[in-house]
Structure 1
Amino acid sequence: MAYATHTSNTQSAFAARVGDALDTIRTRFERRRVYKRTLTELQSLSTRELEDLGLNRSSLNRIAYQAAYEV
C-alpha cells in the first residue's frame, strides 16, 4: 500500500502571493494618498504661514514625501 508523505498545496501558496501583492498595492496607494493630501495642505498655506513654521515652498515636496514614506 502506498502512502503520501508529502503533499503541496499550490493553490493556497498562490492565494498567499496574490494576497501579498494586493497588500503591497494597497499600501502604495495609501502612501500616495497621504503624500498628495499633505502636499495639497502645505501648498494651501500662505508664505507667511510657511515662514512661521520655518518652511519655504521649495521644500514642500520633500516634507510631504517624508510624511508619507517615513524617510
Structure 2
Amino acid sequence: MAVFAQAQNVTVDAGLRSRLLTAIQRMQENRARRAVYRQTVRELNALTTRDLNDLGINRTMITRLAREAAWGSAQ
C-alpha cells in the first residue's frame, strides 16, 4: 500500500511540475509579446506624420499594427 501511495505522489508532483512549467513558459512568451508591442508602438510614434504617410500608415492604425506585430492578425 505504501508503494502505491508513493507512486501516486510522484505522479501528482510530475503533473503539478508540468503545469507550473507550462504557466511559466506562457508568462515568458506573453512578456516577450508585450515587449514587441511596446517597441512597435514606440517606433511608429517616433515617425513623423509625413513618414507614416509615405508608409501608408495613419496614426490611428499604430496600435492595431503593433497588436498584429506582437500577437498576429487573429487578435
TM range, smaller chain: 0.7 to 0.9
The CA distance in 2 between the partners of 1:56 and 1:17, in whole Å, is 42
CA-atom RMSD, angstroms? 1.4
Matched residue, 2:15: 13
The structure with higher relative contact order (CA 8 Å, sep 6+) is 1
TM-score, normalized by length of structure 1? 0.87
User: Which letter does structure 2 place at the counterpart of 1:54?
Assistant: G
User: How many residues of Structure 1 are paired with residues of Structure 2 in the alignment?
Assistant: 67
> Which of 4, 25, 28 is matched with 1:26 structurally?
28
> Which of 33, 38, 48 is matched with 2:50 structurally?
48
User: Which letter does structure 2 place at the counterpart of 1:64?
Assistant: A
Shift of 1:15: 0.3
Which of the pair is proportionally richer in helix? 2
Gaps of 5+ in 2: none
User: Which letter does structure 2 place at the counterpart of 1:10?
Assistant: V
TM-score, normalized by length of structure 2? 0.83
